[in-house]
Chain A
Amino acid sequence: MPFSKNALKLDPSLETDRIVSFLRKQVLKTMRRSGAVVGISGGVDSAVTLALSVRAFGPEKVLAIMMPDQDSSPVSETLARELAAQYRVETRLENITNALEGFDCYRRRDDAIRRVCPAYDDDKGYKVKIVLPQDLLEEGTLNIFSIVVIAPDGCEEKQPLPRREMLEIIAASNLKQRARMSLLYFHAEARQYAVAGTANKNEHEQGFFVKYGDGGVDLQPIAHLFKTQVYQLADYLQVPEAIQKRTPTTDTYSAPCDQQEFFYRLPFETLDLLWHAKEQGIAVPEVAGVMALSESQVQRVFDDITSKQRTTGYLRLLPPKLEPYKPD
């Protein structure tokens, strides 16, 4: 089939049925669990996962967990509650701030931030986020992270992140996703449910997740769907409009930070189509023509996808082990 801008359009009814069957078969038959726990963030991915789980198991067999910390936007909880109410699903609120203080998460992170931006002070209302260079189409810069500190008066300071500080900030921040994973499994085990993951294809295959954090789940019902396809299902499943219209956010750092700034460097509408074209082996000139881009722009995005997939393989790698011992 020739490549077109409609290449990722799916039949949402058929795809919903396919995922619901997958959920039932895997959870009830293979895992022998009776329902699903879903961590809901007020974002579209967890909303769609929740809606699909409700279709698969019924609302009485689905538990929605909200797990904000001190850096989370209050909007996340508001939208999550609206979502759970619409699907008549039981909720639990688990604020993980105290758990993270127990891990010394904030001090470890803030010490590293202050070595780069000494003025940063969380208690005085400074906000922080991590960003990549923007507009991958126009700029061929490599994926090099910067830290942006926003003072209470709105002044922004942006600095490149040195290796040591980058590692420490990411390691500390990843404690959040791992704390959430622990709570999801607490609730799942207490009810003999499975933990349904909420990662889409973009997150799973480009490595935008935390190993044994949000990647620590029992099954991945939407990890085969591009983000733009998740939106199609959200529309079909009548996910609240405010969630469908919300800009995808990391909700990990205290300053607002969307996923394009933090990781993808492109709008999903463009990224997904280019990625699909690459997967289908469509020639660069044909893709460039359909997308109204130059061939070098298309190639730049193809290279960025390849690079992210190859360098994040570790995240998707299951613990390797040796073959059984065989005496000579």
Chain B
Amino acid sequence: MNKQPIEQSIREFIAVNLLYSTEEFTLPAEASLLNEGILDSLGVVELVEFVQNHFGIKVAQKEVTPDNFGSVGKLVGFVCGKLDMDKGEIPRDLPS
């Protein structure tokens, strides 16, 4: 699975919706979204709603952990795992 478009979508969402920025979100994939103060309780909800709606996956509350949502890299891995599990296709509107 090509992870690049997934990572790009997540980065765009964080930049626009969590940081209210017109610039790219350039923090390294492994940087902690929690320790950087990017993800508060509202941001977590927004990010969960985004990955559910954008990638067409279901996220259980027990899956909303730092291991899955704590960094861009972890979230990409989580989404890829879900898409693999569902044998789903990556939605066509993802940026290439």
Alpha-carbon distance between A268 and B35 when the two chains are bound, in angstroms: 22
Number of interface residues of A (CB under 8 A): 24
Alpha-carbon distance between A306 and B67 when the two chains are bound, in angstroms: 17
Count contacts between A and B, CB distance < 8 Å: 64
Alpha-carbon distance between A284 and B61 when the two chains are bound, in angstroms: 28
Q: Contact check: which of A140, A144, A307 meets B48 at CB < 8 Å?
A: A144
Q: What A residues does B62 contact at CB under 8 A?
A: 139, 141
Q: What A residues does B34 contact at CB under 8 A?
A: 142, 303, 306-307
Q: What B residues does A162 contact at CB under 8 A?
A: 45, 49
B91 within 8 A of A: no
Q: What are 17 A-B interface contacts by the 8 Å CB criterion?
A: A133-B61, A140-B66, A141-B62, A141-B64, A142-B34, A143-B44, A144-B45, A144-B48, A160-B45, A166-B42, A300-B66, A303-B34, A303-B35, A306-B35, A307-B40, A310-B35, A313-B37
- A residues near B, CB below 8 A? 132-133, 139-146, 160-163, 166-167, 300, 303, 306-307, 310-313
Q: Contact check: which of B35, B36, B37, B41 meets A144 at CB < 8 Å?
A: B41
Q: Contact check: which of B35, B42, B61 meets A163 at CB < 8 Å?
A: B42
* Whole-angstrom distance between the Cβ of B47 and the nearest chain A Cβ: 9
* Whole-angstrom distance between the Cβ of B37 and the nearest chain A Cβ: 3
Q: Contact check: which of A133, A140, A167 meets B67 at CB < 8 Å?
A: A140
